[in-house]
Amino acid sequence: MRCVNAAGGSAGGNYHTTFEVWLMRLGIRLLHGRAYHPQAQGKEERFHRTLNVEVLQVRLFTDLAACQAAFNAWRPIYNEQRPHEGIGLAVPASRYRPSPFAFPEVLPEPEYHHSDQVRRVGTDGTTSFKGRRIKLSQAFASSDVASRPTHDETLWDVFFMRCLLAKLDIKEQTAHITTVRYVSERTSAMSPV
């Protein structure tokens, strides 16, 4: 499994969050939508629209406890009573299946192939490779990442566990990193575009 499938993004670093790194350690594949294209996340946009109309617009909340109580009352309606057009007017609870994977007691540590060039990421989110400083995200602080050669001797792939983080070009004195994130070009079936 590769956690990301396409190159792109900006040069100069990866901007993964601590939550994303936690998901990677669990073996969960990360997918990102295209920036400024809300239609790419049609389901989430539709959910937030429904939440806004059915809960947030109809009342004012005096405090967070009152807001949480409203969410708690609405959740079973949304999941167990309200039909959803996107799933043939069924309710989400009818489609729910528990995960076949048990949640680990302890998160697995990264393991790499013996031929990988493994480096520790510092507290500032940087590591070094072939004498060059590489800026990753502080979310990887104190973790090991691995560099693997590609078909071109000056290009290396940088991995965290099985997740491709970046492509590293070491031709220049200063390493050039291209962030790697999967960004779907396909829009949601719910998209008006």
**Comparing C-alpha atoms, which of 3, 7, 8 is closest to residue 31?**
3
pLDDT 10s digit of each residue in the chain, 193 long? 333 333 333 334 457 899 999 999 998 888 777 777 777 778 888 888 999 999 999 889 999 999 999 999 999 999 999 999 889 999 999 999 998 988 899 998 899 999 999 999 999 999 988 888 888 899 999 999 999 999 988 889 999 999 888 888 887 655 556 555 544 555 545 444 4
- Return d(Cα 34, Cα 167) in angstroms, integer: 20
pLDDT at 177: 63
- Return d(Cα 132, Cα 120) in angstroms, integer: 14
pLDDT at 51: 93
- Helices assigned H by DSSP within 77-154: 92-95
Query: Which two structure tokens, joined as six digits, stand for 184?
Result: 């779907």
- Which of helix, strand or coil describes residue 76? helix
Contact in structure between 152 and 146 (CB atoms under 8 Å): no
**Comparing C-alpha atoms, which of 91, 83, 176, 93 is closest to residue 129?**
176
Average pLDDT, the chain: 82
Query: Which two structure tokens, joined as six digits, stand for 152?
Result: 């071109």
Domain positions in the chain: 7-33+107-180, 38-95
pLDDT at 19: 94
